[in-house]
Amino acid sequence: MIKAVFFDIDGTLVPFATGTCSPSAVRAVRELQNRGVLCFVATGRSRFEIATEHLLDGLQFDGYLTNNGQDAYDAQWKQIYGKPLDPQDVQALLDWTDRKGYTCWLANAEKTCINHSSPEFLRAMEAVHTRPLFVGDLREMSRQPIYKLVLFARPEEMAEPCRLAPHSRTTQWFELGHDFISADGGKENALREIMRHYHLRPEETMAFGDSENDASMLRAAGIGVAMGNATPEALASADYVTDDAEKDGIYNALRHFGVI
């Protein structure tokens, strides 16, 4: 029996074509909660992006796994779990961006901002319907634990920064958007922390995602569902492939498995 469902946002709850939560996904979440099923967000977004971009307006979730699972919160945004990046890795990557001129995006517990804009950054923001972020002092931000560090570069340009951050690994949400997370972090580890917190067994969970950064979560859940618009990594990690996000994929999969 499924007792909890985890949802990615971009490309899953929120189709890329619209930038807003699909009506059928809203209906699915409400039907799940009416049946007593816990509903969680599991996203690469930070809590600030969810609020300022109004991504989930009209929906109340039972918890939030943000920044690719680097931090997790209950329904009232009380932190349950945190896995910040290694401070030495953060400083090495900031040094690299200063030398090379790439756009870097940080998120700590209080705010999120970038060092400067770039064409790669603007392309990525346009793809996920997100307004350009504030420009700020990343060194000042990095005095606090950092939960997300994003570099905006082509995949072939990522070898050097990856070598500079030995305690981290990367996951990708867009061709030009590379998230650094703790080597032992990620959505799958936050999912396991949530399962422990709410006394859930893996076979009682279901997860939906569409991107490379969802793949490990899909494998960790009892039932991993890839959207029809998913990347090859997500598709290969799923137990089931549903329809595209804009074609009622979430609702149809929940009906297929008899959860709603």
The string of DSSP letters for 130-184 reads -PPPPB--HHHHTTSPEEEEEEE--GGG-HHHHHH-TTEEEEEEETTEEEEEETT
Predicted confidence (pLDDT) per residue in 10-64, tens digit: 999 999 888 889 999 999 999 999 999 999 999 999 998 898 888 898 899 999 9
pLDDT value for 132: 73
Residue length of the chain: 260
**Which of the two residues, 209 and 55, has the higher pLDDT score?**
209
Please give the model's pTM, rounded to 2 decimal places: 0.91
pLDDT value for 5: 98
Predicted confidence (pLDDT) per residue in 154-192, tens digit: 889 999 999 999 999 998 777 888 999 999 989 999 999
pLDDT value for 54: 87
